[in-house]
Amino acid sequence: MKLHLFTVDAFTDLPFCGNPAAVVLLSQVVEEHTLQKLAKELNLSETAYVKPLVSTAEDPWVHCSRFTLRWFTPTTEVPLCGHATLATAHVLFHSLGNTSHQLEFETQSGLLVARRDGHYIVLDFPANPPTPLTPSEETQLASLLKVVSSGLQVEQLLLSRTTKKLLVRLHHSCTREQLEALRLDSAAWMSLHDGSLVKGIIMTTRGNLEVTNNLQEAQKNPSEYHCLSRYFAPWNGIAEDPVTGSAHTVLGPHWSQELSISKLRCRQCSPRGGDVLVTVRTDGRVDLSGQAVTIIQGHVTL
């Protein structure tokens, strides 16, 4: 059996930046344990498996607009992954020449939509706003909370229960340089919490961009952002994720409320780094916009 494979750098327009994901085209049934083994073999933060839902006489990869989509880390299947969804849409639109303006993906998190917007691909995702910890949650996470900030001043701790992401909002005095300089032993966090309540930790602070809803104006200075973040998910086998779409379904609603704007330019400050444009809608969803670059194309033989 041969499966068509792509690796794509997502949320960037430059190779070797952003977040790499594998995209595997499924034209036949593959057993689940094989999907997991392949994700482990590829050893990227996410491997996406995409399959057309409608068979046509013509090439379904070109003419179909509705697909199933699943995401696997090297250790487990996850219910939502933004950068691998962006990578999948990029492969369909730009590598396979899909003619649709909009693609629909059936996933564990419901129906997700990706559409073209000039050089960008826009992902329509559910918003996952974080809320304060309850006293019992604070007790459960007490050991983890003592070390998670690595000595930086914490302004607020919030939890997105739908995604199991803990948002650690650092004091506004925290600079981008301090955030980028953090060296966290995220593997040690696993000894302090079993992953039952938290699967990932978002470290975030406010950026230096003037508050504006005009993203075109905001993009004139490429070094300025509304918010900065890093994301760590050792409970999912990812010490640090370079750029995380699902984390921005949490960050977007939080910073939108804090800054009283609906459109944000966000930077994830991992060593690879990447940009996400977030629009927080009034219907409980967010639009995540980004670019992507195909790096490798080939086949997997099973």
Nearest to 302 by CA among 7, 41, 18: 41
Q: Please check whether residue 37 is in contact with residue 43, taking contact to mean a CB–CB distance below 8 angstroms.
A: no
Q: Please check whether residue 10 is in contact with residue 84, taking contact to mean a CB–CB distance below 8 angstroms.
A: yes
The amino acid sitting at 280 is V
Phi/psi-derived region of residue 299, left when phi > 0, alpha when psi is between -120 and 50, beta in every other case: beta
d(CA 188, CA 191): 6
46 is catalytic: yes
Q: Which of 46, 58, 104, 137 is catalytic?
A: 46
Dihedral in degrees, nearest 10, Cα atoms 129, 215, 276, 84 = 100
Enter the tokens of residue 200: 């990932």
Is the Cα torsion angle 75, 80, 84, 85 positive or negative in sign? positive
d(CA 270, CA 289): 18
- What does DSSP assign to residue 262? S
260 CB-contact burial (10 Å; exposed 0-12 / middle 13-18 / buried 19+): exposed
- What does DSSP assign to residue 273? -
E-assigned strand segments in the chain: 2-10, 19-25, 47-52, 66-72, 77-78, 102-107, 110-117, 120-126, 131-132, 154-160, 165-170, 200-206, 227-233, 238-241, 263-268, 274-280, 285-290, 292-301
Nearest to 185 by CA among 218, 159, 214, 151: 151
Residues involved in catalysis? 46
